[in-house]
Amino acid sequence: MARILKEYPSVALKPENLDGKIDFVRVFGRVGPVHIEIGAGKGTFLLNQARSQPGNNFLGIEWARKYYRYAVDRIGRWGLTNVRIIRTDAVAFLADFIPDNSVECFHIYFPDPWPKKRHHKRRFICPANLEHLVRCLKTGGQLKIATDHADYFEQIKTVLTVWNEKLQEIDFLPTAGAEACEWVGTNFERKYLKDQRPIYTLAVRKM
């Protein structure tokens, strides 16, 4: 029998209810470091990380409706109060709604690599989006990226070099849900490891 997915208003953040830059204190009902995952999928990372870091606030952005609904249901069933999930376009959301110097960490794990050359312009990690990521990070804030796609990883490193004066490379530490030989413990990572694909990681801190 298919799982019946419930809507949890306390978890789901609706784009139509937003008006200008987000007040994270209002969204979460408390003060706390804000972590944003771009491409939350079914919420595996959010669930594990939010449970292990109850003092932090987590916002997941997911466009695919079926994954968004699953993630909302999953977080709601666990009763986590420090997670919100929004279904929206991450590029526009980043540019229009996230305030300057407001985010402790951006998590981008296994973004769509758009492998065909004519589609490379659709890749999320690009100069324009990176400019917004850096703008939104607090001083000392981090950007953590993981991918299984070697070509995309090389592009990511190239894009980041432009920000060498603002971003310092640091060690990529495994997340709370990562098991032995894993970095982030997401469904995609486990699938790729099973297929014996190499995983590439990168972490930087805003200076």
Active-site residue set: 112
Q: How many CB atoms lie within 10 A of CB 129?
A: 18
* Distances from the Cα of 54 to the Cα of 58, 80, 82, 83, 177, angstroms: 10, 9, 7, 10, 14
Give the C-alpha distances (Å, rounded to integers) separating 43 from 47, 61, 71: 6, 10, 5
Tokens of 44: 């595996």
How far is Cα of residue 56 from the mean position of the Cα atoms in its chain? 14
CB 120 within 8 A of CB 152: no
Q: How much of the chain is in helix, strand and coil states, percent to nearest 5? A: 35, 20, 40
